[in-house]
Amino acid sequence: MPLTLEQFVALAHRHAQAESDADVAGTLATLEAEPAYTFYPAGRKFTGMANTRRFYEGFVSHFKPRIQNVEFHGEAVGIGGLYQEYTISLECDDGQVRDYRILGVLVFGDNALAGERMYADEALFRLLAGSLWDEMERI
């Protein structure tokens, strides 16, 4: 039986907290077996649990340590997902700290989260995806 909207919102909040805590196992536990992650307007995506695990392991080891600050701007709930907007202050490869605005949609699936759609600058996505970026499917 599918989750209720209230249950999906609680699951999305658990996902976001696990991500914030650098808890890869906890983050993956909120997802369906074959999640999909899409990046707009860059037009890239990856699918599957193996790629998702790789993405979050890279997030924890390479991306998260670069984060200098996160400013949460708000969230909204729609029938298909939980929308969250942030500004992330990030140390880039050149040592400069830059601010990136991101809108993430935690997509509701049948019984867990089906993945995420993200809207941000391609420079942020390249840092976020790391070595996975060049392997991602173009959409």
Residue pLDDT, tens place only, 72-114: 999 999 989 999 999 999 999 999 999 999 999 999 999 999 9
Structure tokens at 86: 């942030």
How far apart, in whole angstroms, are the C-alpha atoms of residue 53 and residue 79? Answer: 26
Integer Rg of the chain from CA = 14
- Domains in the chain (CATH in brackets) are 5-138 (3.10.450.50)
Q: Is 43 helix (H, G, I), strand (E, B) or coil?
A: coil
Q: What is the pTM of this model?
A: 0.94
User: pLDDT, tens digit, for every residue of 13-72?
Assistant: 999 999 999 999 999 999 999 999 999 999 999 999 999 999 999 999 999 999 999 999
